[in-house]
Structure 1
Amino acid sequence: MSTAELDALAALADPPGVLPLLERARVSRNLAFLAAALRGGNDSAPRRSARAGFDLLAAVQRRAPEVVREMLRHHRFGAWVAVCAVGAGGDPVAEESLAHLTSFAAAAAVRAGLEFELELPRVGDAVVLPGLGCWTGPATAPPRVRHDGRGTPLLDGYRWTPIRRLTAALPGGGVDIEFDDLPPTPSAWPETDIPDGSSGWTPWDAAEFDEWQRVFGAAMALLAEVVPGLAGPLARGIRAVLPRASASYPFVTSTLADSFGAAAMVRPADAVRVATGLLHEFQHSKLGVLMEIEPLIAVEGPADLPSPWRREPRPASALLHGSYAHLAVARFLRLAAGRTGSTPVPDAEPVRRQTLAGCDILLGSGRLTPAGRRFVTFMRQTAATDSGGRPAARTV
């Protein structure tokens, strides 16, 4: 990535070629993780399943390589392969999780119209095809799926539930992403333990989904109107919303570094809050991959840096992530004021000043690489001049 591209990202002016670069980088990392996860090991049942899944994925690659590329950058694949790679060589959870490669391979084969026969792992009472849907049925032995290359395979005694999708019509083209309420596959997402067979999975009800569709469509339209320069990359890069229950999920919105383009959210009440959450989390997704391409933190250090938006101190990377997300949110809130009818818009100025404070703490920490210092300096200059007519704070 060039210096000019880094500067543009820090100034919230994403160049057109950056998002494809980030996506290619994430696919490369996922492939490296897959190699690490499958290397060596014993002849356990999960490894035998994984090898069968890999063989099927290779067959899909020969027929429809674009389908495999799409699966390799799927948010569930990134989360799954990270669990397997990090725990490779000794973690029993990672070892058991290897069998889920067959689910990703089967989903790719269905998309490519490829015939196959494969045993798939269960998630509680469900069998998941990531990005497509899941079967639910009696919790017995793992089902053996046969596919003739046409449509979706049918399993006797199982009910198929297709994944639903959130859509939005925008001036530059439509948005069509997964509403991923399917049972959890192995990942590091909070509160996504794999259920046992005693608990049945049910999708979110139709009324709740309709409400999600309403606020999502309104949020994307608002972003496109108010901050088109930020909405464009978001519309092209967001892949999925993972709905969460407010009673049990510890965050209003969250992102997993391994799941590029996915945002877990407790449904906000209005489009302004949905837009804010999507924008905030997509900034995290971009920065997470960017920092793998170009290191911005020289010394992560202990979690001892003061945070302008949290009570507890944070490590350098967390402070950088928060500042980058706040930078975009502050711009959106400032420009959205007075353009949302009766829907209230929070004041942008406290968010902007938190961004400035976060940048100042980072610049004074001694923990940034030269590229990181330049990146944060451009962030600070952007926040300082994004003041909507207020006197600009000093720049570094």
Structure 2
Amino acid sequence: MSSRIPLDLLRELGRSEGGAEALGLLVDDQRVRRLLALRALLDAVDTARTPTVPRSAAARVAEHWGLLEAADRAGRDATRQVLYYPLLGPWVRRVLRGLAAAVPPPDLLPDLEHLGAVAAAAAARAGLPFTLRLRAANGTLALPTLGAHTLRGTDAGHRGPPPDVELTHRDGRLTLRPAAGPPAVLCRRPDGVWESSDPAWRPLRPLTGGPRPVLLDDLDPFRTADSGLERHGLKPAEPLGADGRAGWQAAWAGARPLLERGGPTRALEAGILLDCIVPLAPPPQAGPHAAGPAHCSGTRREAFGAVLSSAPQTAAFLAATLVHELQHAKLAALTELTPLHHDTGTTRHWAPWRPDPRPFDGLLQGTYSHLALADYWQRFALTAENALERHTAWAEHSRCREQVGAALPTLLGSRALTPAGRVLTGAMAERLTRLRERPPPEGYLARASAYVETSRTMWRRQHAR
């Protein structure tokens, strides 16, 4: 079998596990891809025709790239912290698509300007002295991993050329000087937060006390760009106030012990794979308590290391969300490292957790994430501290286990699987067999099985041809 991942690590990932070596392999590959994508952006600008990228815009890209290279020489680790930031992925993809389009989109040149903000953030983190003049799209200058500054007298409806802001970094102080209004001085605190006494500056703050500090990013302008969220009535949350951040902080700090109860892999995944969380607004049908359809979450292939989620009501809710979404991140990264199937993408498969037909890849993704959830909830049930906790865990485990058992035969029997895909799905089947060795108390599986069969019957009535 030809694969870019060792066979033992592929089986390990297939069992919904993954130690530091396997997870590190996925992270390293994604980081290489990010650097290649950034280089592809520079090359695409160099070869773009003048109407698409005017000479003045190309010169600014060259200036910003030069600062980025200087920052990398001055502080490689600090610069790569910015370059590997998950939310640069949607921006790079958006710009590359714009540069390749027959008719360039109207936002192409403002999007290209964001490279200067990336370079400025990297240079500040690397401790490199610099002076740079940037344009604040819609009156806001967003610096990845640092925060955002809103210029006085501007808003999202600002018309005319974007206002300029001069950035100067000296001796650990980053000064933002807009054309109108007083300057804002940013200082980096020991915990890495860039603070300012100017209320127009909103710093990005990490969530602490969990598996590791991660940024809660409600400011990045590309955090949900081109994600398709709007098709489902979803949107990013508005910038958080103190109460909103406190709620996220409490849930994050409480999630660590819950992840650890779900097995060593779950806490390790959060510690290695997760770099930021993007708050989403509650879905349109959300009520006062986030449960089921009142909560939404997701991942983006181009934003590896980010989880998008509406505010969790409890730490337990956040822990389960992370288990679920990080499996999608793992499998998406693995698919880029080694192809798992050659399916055409036709939406024709039944998935016990969805009412609509799914493509083969969607079925694989869903089965993989539900397998991890079944494992997580089983371990949680076996260490439950009270009857309610035990009941909830066994019910969740049983539902996920029966859903996986119903979907897995379709995957195992598919001719679309590559050799690597057969190894992965075979390991998934091994994990399911091991889960069945410790069944829940009487009644749980019967109810879960009835639920899955009802789903199958309803799906067939609606979609059978």
State the TM-score, normalizing by the size of structure 2.
Answer: 0.76
Which one of 227, 232, 237 corresponds to residue 268 of structure 2? Answer: 232
Deviation digits for residues 294-319 of structure 1, max 9, x if unmatched? 11012233111221210111112111
Aligned pair count reads: 381
The corresponding residue for 1:142 is: 164
The corresponding residue for 1:38 is: 42
Mapped to 2, the partners of 1:319 and 1:340 lie a distance apart of: 34
Point out where structure 2 has 5 or more consecutive residues left out of the alignment.
Answer: 155-161, 185-199, 231-236, 287-292, 446-465
Secondary structure of the 1:217 match is: helix
The change in CA–CA distance for 1:94 and 1:297 in structure 2 (over 3 A counts) is farther
Give the letter for the 1:14 counterpart: G
Please say if residues 166 and 176 of structure 2, whose CA atoms lie closer than 8 Å, have aligned partners that are also in contact.
Answer: no
Please say if residues 326 and 351 of structure 1, whose CA atoms lie closer than 8 Å, have aligned partners that are also in contact.
Answer: yes
Bigger mean CA offset, 241-250 vs 75-84:
241-250
Residue 339 of structure 1 pairs with residue 384 of structure 2: yes
Bigger mean CA offset, 33-42 vs 213-222:
33-42
Give the letter for the 1:150 counterpart: G
The change in CA–CA distance for 1:154 and 1:120 in structure 2 (over 3 A counts) is closer
Residue 151 of structure 1 pairs with residue 173 of structure 2: yes
Which one of 79, 94, 103 corresponds to residue 83 of structure 1? Answer: 94
Mapped to 1, the partners of 2:229 and 2:108 lie a distance apart of: 17
CA RMSD of aligned residues (A): 2.5
Give the letter for the 2:337 counterpart: I
Deviation digits for residues 310-362 of structure 1, max 9, x if unmatched? 01111121111111111111111122226265664452111112122222112
Which one of 71, 74, 81 corresponds to residue 60 of structure 1? Answer: 71
Point out where structure 1 has 5 or more consecutive residues left out of the alignment.
Answer: 193-200
Secondary structure of the 2:424 match is: helix
Give the letter for the 1:339 counterpart: A
Mapped to 1, the partners of 2:282 and 2:127 lie a distance apart of: 39
Bigger mean CA offset, 61-70 vs 368-377:
61-70
The change in CA–CA distance for 1:144 and 1:367 in structure 2 (over 3 A counts) is same
Please say if residues 127 and 135 of structure 1, whose CA atoms lie closer than 8 Å, have aligned partners that are also in contact.
Answer: yes
What is the deviation of 1:157? 5.2
Residue 277 of structure 1 pairs with residue 321 of structure 2: yes
What is the deviation of 1:120? 2.6
Residue 189 of structure 1 pairs with residue 227 of structure 2: yes
Please say if residues 277 and 308 of structure 2, whose CA atoms lie closer than 8 Å, have aligned partners that are also in contact.
Answer: yes
What is the deviation of 1:123? 4.2
Which has more radius of gyration?
2
Residue 382 of structure 1 pairs with residue 427 of structure 2: no
The corresponding residue for 1:289 is: 333
Residue 363 of structure 1 pairs with residue 401 of structure 2: no
Secondary structure of the 2:304 match is: coil
The corresponding residue for 2:128 is: 114
The corresponding residue for 1:47 is: 58
Which one of 212, 230, 234 corresponds to residue 175 of structure 1? Answer: 212
The corresponding residue for 2:456 is: none
Deviation digits for residues 200-254 of structure 1, max 9, x if unmatched? x973111121111111111122111332222112222211111111155996111
Residue 21 of structure 1 pairs with residue 35 of structure 2: no
Residue 302 of structure 1 pairs with residue 346 of structure 2: yes
Please say if residues 367 and 407 of structure 2, whose CA atoms lie closer than 8 Å, have aligned partners that are also in contact.
Answer: yes
**Identity within the alignment, %:** 30
The corresponding residue for 2:116 is: 102
Secondary structure of the 1:178 match is: strand
Which one of 234, 250, 254 corresponds to residue 218 of structure 1? Answer: 254
The corresponding residue for 1:198 is: none
Please say if residues 167 and 176 of structure 1, whose CA atoms lie closer than 8 Å, have aligned partners that are also in contact.
Answer: yes
What is the deviation of 1:293? 0.8
